[in-house]
C-alpha cells in the first residue's frame, strides 16, 4: 500500500490535532472558562475525529475495495455485531464461521475477523473486562516473548446459543495497564430484548494480578452490541443502579473514567495507532447530549437511551485486520451497575461513503 503512508500520516495528524484540542478542553474544564468555549472545543474535537474516521474509511476502501461493498444484507448471524468486531472480510468470515461449527481446534479455521482492542486501564480498572458480552475463559497460554500470558475467552452461550465468538486478551508488555484484545467470530447469541439490563460488573479483581479481564456479563450483552452492528458510534447509557452485589459497588466507586485510560486504534497493517484521551471520551459522552451527536433514528430499536453518562467501565477500540471495521466499545459493565454504557462501533458499512454521524441510517 503505497498510499498508505499518506493517509496514515494525515490520519495521525488529524488525531493528534484532536488530541491537542482535547487537552485544551481539559484545561478549560479545569478553569472557569465559558461553556461556549468548551462547546467550541468540543465541536472541533469531534470534527477532527470525524475527519480521522473519514480517512480511515477511505483508506479502508482503497486498501480493500472488496470490502467497501455494502453489507447491509448480510445474514443476521454475520452482522450480529457484538462485542467482537464485526468488521472484517466477510467473505472469508462467513466461511470461517461455518467452519467454526465444525471444529474449534483448528487454528486458521477460525474467523479472520480479528480486531484488536487496546485498553489502557489504570486505577486497577480492568479495562478489557467489559465489552458488553458474556465471556468464559477457557484457556491461558504463555506467549513466547511476551511477559504476560494470553487468556482465551469464548462466549458463555457458546453451546446454549451456538455462539462462537471468542476473544483473546493479553496485557501489553510495554504497558501493563494496556490490554490487547483480539476478537474472533461474531456473536450469534443475540435474542434478548434490547431493554435487557446491562452486564454485571467485573468480578472485581481490580487487581492486575488476575492477568486479564474477567468476563462476567449477562447474556443480554450480546445482543446489546449486536444491535449496534451497523453503527458507527454507539452510545449507551443505563440509568439503572443496582447495588445488588458488592462488585457493582466496587465498580461504581473505583471506576471513574480512568483518567489515563486511553483507547488505541490499532491497524494491524499500518501500525497506526491512536489514542483517545479520557477527555475525548468525556467529550464524546458530552456530545451525546449535544446536537452534534445525533443518535440514529433506528428503525428497529430504540437503542440509544438517554445519555446520562456517569461513568463507564470499559472502553476499547477494535480495528479489523482488513481495515474494514472498527469498533470502539466502551461499556459499562454491569448488568446491574449504574452506569453508562458507552459503545463505539465502526461498522463496515461506514466504509462506504460519508461519514455519517448525523446520517440517519448510519446508526442502527
Partner DNA sequence: AAAATTTGACCTAC
Partner DNA sequence: GTAGGTCAAATTTT
**Between residues 76 and 138, which has the closer beta carbon with respect to DNA?**
138
Based on the shown chain and the rule CB under 7 A, indicate whether residue 207 belongs to the binding site for DNA.
no
DSSP 77-101: HHH---SS---S-HHHHHHHHHHHH
CB of 334 to DNA, least distance (A): 13
Based on the shown chain and the rule CB under 7 A, indicate whether residue 141 belongs to the binding site for DNA.
yes
**Between residues 14 and 130, which has the closer beta carbon with respect to DNA?**
130
Based on the shown chain and the rule CB under 7 A, indicate whether residue 101 belongs to the binding site for DNA.
no
Tally the C-alpha atoms within 13 A of residue 35's C-alpha that lie toward its C-beta. 2
**Between residues 140 and 260, which has the closer beta carbon with respect to DNA?**
140
Question: What distance in Å separates the CA atoms of residue 330 and residue 281, rounded to the nearest whole number?
Answer: 9
CB of 28 to DNA, least distance (A): 41
Tally the C-alpha atoms within 13 A of residue 8's C-alpha that lie toward its C-beta. 16
CB of 328 to DNA, least distance (A): 23
**Between residues 38 and 210, which has the closer beta carbon with respect to DNA?**
210
Based on the shown chain and the rule CB under 7 A, indicate whether residue 106 belongs to the binding site for DNA.
yes
**Between residues 22 and 251, which has the closer beta carbon with respect to DNA?**
251
Tell me the window of 60-68, 72-80, 148-156, 270-278 that interacts with DNA (CB under 7 A). Answer: 148-156
Based on the shown chain and the rule CB under 7 A, indicate whether residue 210 belongs to the binding site for DNA.
yes
Beta bridge partners of 182: 116, 168
Burial of 2 (0-12, 13-18, 19+ CB in 10 A): exposed
Q: Which of 53, 133, 152, 233 binds DNA (CB under 7 A)?
A: 152
Phi and psi torsions of 82, nearest 5°: 165, -175
**Between residues 38 and 136, which has the closer beta carbon with respect to DNA?**
136
Residue 323 per-residue DSSP state: S
Query: Which has the closest alpha carbon to 86: 98, 75, 101?
Result: 75
**Between residues 35 and 144, which has the closer beta carbon with respect to DNA?**
144
Tell me the window of 138-146, 220-228, 275-283, 300-308 that interacts with DNA (CB under 7 A). Answer: 138-146
Based on the shown chain and the rule CB under 7 A, indicate whether residue 166 belongs to the binding site for DNA.
yes
Based on the shown chain and the rule CB under 7 A, indicate whether residue 171 belongs to the binding site for DNA.
no
Residue 360 has a CB neighbour count (10 Å cut-off) of: 12
Question: What distance in Å separates the CA atoms of residue 338 and residue 343, rounded to the nearest whole number?
Answer: 15
Question: Each residue of 261-299: b (16+ CB within 10 Å) or e?
Answer: bbbbbbbebbebbbbbbbbbbbbbbbbbeeebbbbbebe
3-state helix, strand, coil in the chain (%, to 5): 30, 20, 50
Helix and strand numbers (H, E) in the chain are: 8, 11
Q: Which of 110, 264, 317, 327 binds DNA (CB under 7 A)?
A: 110
Based on the shown chain and the rule CB under 7 A, indicate whether residue 102 belongs to the binding site for DNA.
no
Based on the shown chain and the rule CB under 7 A, indicate whether residue 140 belongs to the binding site for DNA.
yes
Residue numbers 280-309 binding DNA by CB under 7 A: none
**Between residues 156 and 287, which has the closer beta carbon with respect to DNA?**
156
Q: Which residue has the cell 445482543?
A: 223
Question: What distance in Å separates the CA atoms of residue 294 and residue 36, rounded to the nearest whole number?
Answer: 19
Based on the shown chain and the rule CB under 7 A, indicate whether residue 159 belongs to the binding site for DNA.
no
Helices (H), 165-277: 220-226, 246-254
Q: Which of 101, 108, 159, 253 binds DNA (CB under 7 A)?
A: 108
Binding site for DNA (CB under 7 A): 104-110, 134-145, 150-152, 154, 156, 166, 168, 184, 203, 210, 214-216
Amino acid at each position: 500500500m503505497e498510499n498508505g503512508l499518506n493517509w496514515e500520516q494525515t490520519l495521525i495528524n488529524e488525531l493528534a490535532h484532536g488530541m491537542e484540542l482535547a487537552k485544551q478542553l481539559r484545561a478549560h474544564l479545569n478553569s472557569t472558562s465559558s461553556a461556549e468555549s468548551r462547546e467550541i472545543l468540543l465541536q472541533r474535537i469531534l470534527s477532527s475525529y470525524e475527519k480521522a474516521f473519514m480517512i480511515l474509511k477511505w483508506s479502508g476502501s482503497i486498501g480493500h475495495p472488496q470490502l467497501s461493498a455494502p453489507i447491509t444484507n448480510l445474514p443476521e448471524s454475520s452482522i450480529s455485531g457484538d462485542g467482537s468486531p464485526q468488521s472484517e472480510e466477510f467473505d472469508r468470515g462467513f466461511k470461517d464461521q461455518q467452519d467454526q461449527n465444525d471444529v474449534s481446534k483448528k487454528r486458521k479455521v477460525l474467523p479472520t475477523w480479528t480486531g484488536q482492542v487496546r485498553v489502557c486501564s489504570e486505577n486497577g480498572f480492568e479495562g478489557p473486562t467489559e465489552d458488553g458480552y458474556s465471556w468464559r475463559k477457557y484457556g491461558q497460554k504463555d506467549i513466547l516473548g511476551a511477559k504476560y500470558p494470553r487468556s482465551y475467552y469464548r462466549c458463555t452461550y457458546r453451546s446454549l446459543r451456538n455462539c462462537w465468538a471468542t476473544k483473546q486478551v493479553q496485557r501489553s508488555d510495554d504497558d501493563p495497564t494496556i490490554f490487547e484484545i483480539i476478537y474472533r467470530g461474531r456473536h450469534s447469541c443475540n435474542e434478548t430484548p434490547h431493554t435487557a439490563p446491562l452486564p454485571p460488573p467485573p468480578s472485581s479483581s481490580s487487581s492486575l494480578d488476575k492477568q486479564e479481564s474477567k468476563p462476567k456479563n449477562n447474556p443480554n450483552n450480546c445482543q446489546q452490541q449486536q444491535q449496534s452492528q451497523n453503527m458507527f458510534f454507539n452510545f449507551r447509557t443505563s440509568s439503572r443502579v443496582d447495588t445488588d452485589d458488592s462488585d457493582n459497588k466496587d465498580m461504581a466507586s473505583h471506576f471513574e473514567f480512568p483518567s489515563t485510560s486511553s483507547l488505541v486504534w490499532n491497524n494491524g497493517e499500518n501500525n497506526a495507532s491512536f489514542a483517545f484521551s479520557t477527555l475525548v471520551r468525556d467529550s464524546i459522552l458530552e456530545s451525546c447530549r449535544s446536537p452534534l451527536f445525533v443518535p440514529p433514528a433506528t428503525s428497529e430499536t430504540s437503542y440509544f437511551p438517554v445519555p446520562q453518562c456517569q461513568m463507564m467501565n470499559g472502553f476499547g477500540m477494535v480495528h479489523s485486520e482488513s481495515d474494514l471495521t472498527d469498533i470502539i466499545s466502551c461499556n459499562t459493565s454491569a448488568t446491574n451497575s449504574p452506569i453508562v454504557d458507552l459503545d463505539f462501533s465502526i461498522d463496515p458499512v461506514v466504509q462506504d461513503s460519508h461519514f455519517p454521524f448525523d446520517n440517519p441510517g448510519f446508526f442502527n
